Amino acid sequence: MSYETLAVSVADGVAELTVTRPEKGNALSPTALEEIGDAVEALRDEAQVLVVTGAGDYFCTGLDLDLFFEEARKDGPDTVRANTRQHGRAFNGLKEFPGITIAKVNGYTVGGGYMLMGVCDLAVAAAGATFSLSEINFGHPPGGGVMWCIINTMDRRDALYYSATGEPFDAAAADEMGVVNEVVPADSLDERTAELAADIADKDTLALEYTKNFYERVRGMDFDEAREYELAKGEEMKYYQGYEFLDEGIGGFTRDEYQPAAGENYRSRDEDQPE
């Protein structure tokens, strides 16, 4: 499938979705949002890992203000409603993607661009990336899901500071606050993100999906409720998996093929036997 505002590739269980509007700072137009929704839906069964990034020097500078707001307001309520629906479909699709999503933050990440990064499960940033929660400068709070992303990537003081001031912050500050998982030199960003994506894509597909499900569902539960939920859903996963966890995972451990606590110096019992 070809797109007007996106480039999409898939290889070895890893998909990469690139917003290709660098002349607009990769701002998300209604068309871009519709295409993101289409692409994410199409990739659900094709990839275990989805990398999201932007073309050129920008990750994403948020919504295209002219097309998403000004032109829509001229057209009337039906267009505003359609744009809002595409916005929800795109971002909900990313958040609910069954595999792991990784934001490859290559440059400026502003306003709604923070949301594009924030709905992803992981984030790797180039050292020169810059972040800004700029909505307050327009006389509006971060909204439409942006605040949810702020809350889930910053503590309260940092969240309110950057939301209330609109002050930009660099990749080092983002790393220190936990906004991103790691920061790498710009010329290593593609390589490091590909390495991370390949490592995750090598994991069991259902185990990845249920890992995300467990995290999202149990963080609002007390321990007993969480334990019961995890046990029940774990049995469901093993059934769908054909009990591969028992045959290959636990079986590999009992056959001495895998020792998770042994580290890189691990030698199997067979290697320890005298010749």
So where are the chain's domains? Answer: 6-201, 205-265
Between CA 194 and CA 207 the distance in angstroms is 20
CA separation for the pair 217, 215 (Å, rounded): 6
pLDDT confidence of residue 66: 85
Residue 181 C-beta-side C-alpha neighbours within 13 Å: 15
Structure confidence at residue 67 (pLDDT): 85
Q: CA 142, CA 130: separation in Å to the nearest integer? A: 17
- Mapped onto helix, strand or coil, the DSSP state of residue 170 is strand
Q: What pLDDT, on a 0 to 100 scale, did the predictor assign at position 267? A: 42
Q: List, edge to edge, every strand of the sheet that includes 130-132.
A: 58-60, 108-110, 130-132, 169-170
Residue 68, pLDDT score = 77
| pLDDT at res. 74 | 80
Kindly report the CA angle at 45 between 101 and 197, in degrees rounded to 5? 35
Task: Say which CATH topology domain 6-201 has.
Answer: 2-enoyl-CoA Hydratase; Chain A, domain 1 (3.90.226)
Residue 260 has what pLDDT? Answer: 62
pLDDT at residue 255, as a whole number: 62
**Per-residue pLDDT of the chain in tens (275 residues, 90 and over written 9):** 789 999 999 999 999 999 999 999 999 999 999 999 999 999 999 999 999 999 999 999 999 888 877 777 787 888 888 888 999 999 999 999 999 999 999 999 999 999 999 999 999 999 999 999 999 998 999 999 999 999 999 999 999 999 999 999 999 999 999 999 999 999 999 999 999 999 999 999 999 999 999 999 999 999 999 999 999 999 999 888 887 765 665 555 566 666 666 555 444 445 544 44
Give the whole-angstrom CA distance, residue 40 versus residue 90.
Answer: 8
Pairing of strands 49-54, 100-105: parallel
